[in-house]
Chains A and B, each alone.
Chain A
Amino acid sequence: MTTKPKLRESLTAARRPISITAVVDCVGALASHSVHGHLYLYDTNKAGGSTGFGTEELRTKVRRGDQLLWNVLALECEAFVSIDDIVIDRAVVEPERRTYPGTDVAYWIGTVKRDDILEAPYRIKFRVGTRTEPVTTTLSPALFG
């Protein structure tokens, strides 16, 4: 098969926000009243040096000015899970809750304020199913510079 000469330019030059995604096994979390063993964290900065993919102790490599965006996926698409709060040193980043335009689906977003972060651990509070009390991470994911 012949191909046309490559006049196409790949559009990946822009600096992307770093997305941090929590995958939650809602059934497991509801059964044990804890997300321990039922939480898998990932981010999109693997190439930049993040580690701990798929664990509860994801370490996300960040620089000042990086935009961070947290969202959540339920392991079973019928189950409900959302992020209730992100507890982190507010001198590092101040995550705030927003919704995708025209929906009530939320994400958390913030901009990294500092460059010299040794380790900034944080906790995520989840709302799972119809439970009214949020479930908090037991092990701490972290940002580092």
Chain B
Amino acid sequence: MPQQLAVIVLVDVGNALESRTLDGNTYLFDNMKLQGSENQGTGELVTAISGSYWSDGSQASEQVLNWLPYSLGSIPPTVPRGYEAERARQTDEQALTELDHLAATSGTSGTDAAAELSRIRQSAGRRVKTTRRTRGRLSGQKVLDVTGKVVSDGGTQAHSYPAPVITDIYGQAVDEKVIYPAEYGSPDLVTDGWYWSATVDTSRPGTYAYTMRIQLHQLVEQGGESLWEPVNLTCESKIRVTTEPKRNAFTKAGLGLLPVPPRAFS
């Protein structure tokens, strides 16, 4: 199995939601710059995929691509998995402690119980309503701001957007059976246990486009409750399959043929 390739899809979610397009609001990266990927960090990434071949020219192995969608300017993916849920639990516990304290002191003079309750309600934040369409990773969580604090009023306070979610990968590269994408579950720390991955048939050199369907989430207010409204947008990228040999990025070795001749196995 060759090294797996990662394509990072960094989305400026706030701008994309406002302009209702991913064009100009998506920045793509991969870890194949050395192999000839072009336009790193722009919306026009072309991912270079080198095939690997035996000395007789036959294909030695496929390539594997993984996609990682991130939200620009949100809480980074490096915080522990389930961070929003964890923050919701922590702030609930804190509110209970404060309520205990209030119950103990409410009888004493100089305590404004109503004002204190209101303050506790503010600092406890508010859970987002779960709907049929937002069940899953966003359900039962609280709205956080970009520094990880809970937000009690999404209407007046800035909030952090959840990471974008890829819901489909399709288009020319899939239609022509060059890539075989699917969504997989995994104990991956940075994508909440789900990721899109594809094997690439490297036997057919050429440039192939593919389209990602990406779901963003917009915080909306309905009947006095906040909920994450899904917004589906698409963005395109390309892969370029070549017969260039794979190279080791550290040693720069591997410019010739693969070191193991196929006859050794027969």
A118 within 8 A of B: no
Given the contacts A11-B155, A105-B79, A23 and B73 also touching, CB distance less than 8 Å? no
Judging by beta carbons under 8 Å apart, are A102 and B31 in contact? no
Identify whether the interface residues of B are mostly helix, strand, loop, or mixed: loop
A126 within 8 A of B: no
Cross-interface CB contact of A76 among B27, B31, B73, cutoff 8 Å: B31
Distance in Å: Cβ of B252 to nearest Cβ of chain A? 10
- Closest residue of chain A to B154, judged by CB? A11
Given the contacts A69-B147, A77-B190, A101-B149, A12 and B18 also touching, CB distance less than 8 Å? yes
* Cβ proximity bits B86-109 to A, threshold 8 Å, 1 near / 0 not: 110010000000000000000000
Distance in Å: Cβ of B239 to nearest Cβ of chain A? 18
Given the contacts A31-B250, A73-B10, A105-B79, A14 and B157 also touching, CB distance less than 8 Å? yes
Cross-interface CB contact of A44 among B6, B27, B72, B83, cutoff 8 Å: B72
Given the contacts A15-B158, A77-B6, A103-B80, A109 and B86 also touching, CB distance less than 8 Å? no
Distance in Å: Cβ of A88 to nearest Cβ of chain B? 19
A111 within 8 A of B: no
Complex Cα spacing A38 to B70, Å:
19
Judging by beta carbons under 8 Å apart, are B41 and A16 in contact? no
Complex Cα spacing A15 to B156, Å:
8
Instruction: Return chain B residues, CB-CB under 8 Å to A54.
Output: 27, 40-42
Distance in Å: Cβ of B193 to nearest Cβ of chain A? 14
Given the contacts A42-B72, A77-B6, A98-B147, A23 and B29 also touching, CB distance less than 8 Å? yes
B201 within 8 A of A: no
Judging by beta carbons under 8 Å apart, are A44 and B73 in contact? yes
Judging by beta carbons under 8 Å apart, are A11 and B41 in contact? no
Judging by beta carbons under 8 Å apart, are A19 and B73 in contact? yes
| A: number of interface residues (CB 8 Å) | 43
B245 within 8 A of A: no
A10 within 8 A of B: yes
Given the contacts A8-B220, A54-B42, A100 and B250 also touching, CB distance less than 8 Å? no
Cross-interface CB contact of A71 among B6, B40, B76, cutoff 8 Å: B76
Complex Cα spacing A110 to B223, Å:
36
- Closest residue of chain A to B40, judged by CB? A40
Given the contacts A9-B221, A15-B158, A105-B79, A76 and B147 also touching, CB distance less than 8 Å? no
Distance in Å: Cβ of B50 to nearest Cβ of chain A? 17
Judging by beta carbons under 8 Å apart, are B79 and A103 in contact? yes
Q: Which chain A residues (48-95) contact chain B, with CB distance < 8 Å? A: 53-54, 69, 71-77
Instruction: Return chain B residues, CB-CB under 8 Å to A9.
Output: 155, 220-222
Judging by beta carbons under 8 Å apart, are A102 and B40 in contact? no
Known pairs A11-B218, A16-B14, A19-B146 / 17 extra A-B pairs, C-beta < 8 Å: A7-B222, A9-B155, A11-B155, A13-B156, A14-B155, A14-B156, A16-B73, A19-B73, A23-B29, A42-B12, A44-B14, A54-B41, A69-B73, A100-B79, A102-B148, A105-B78, A105-B79
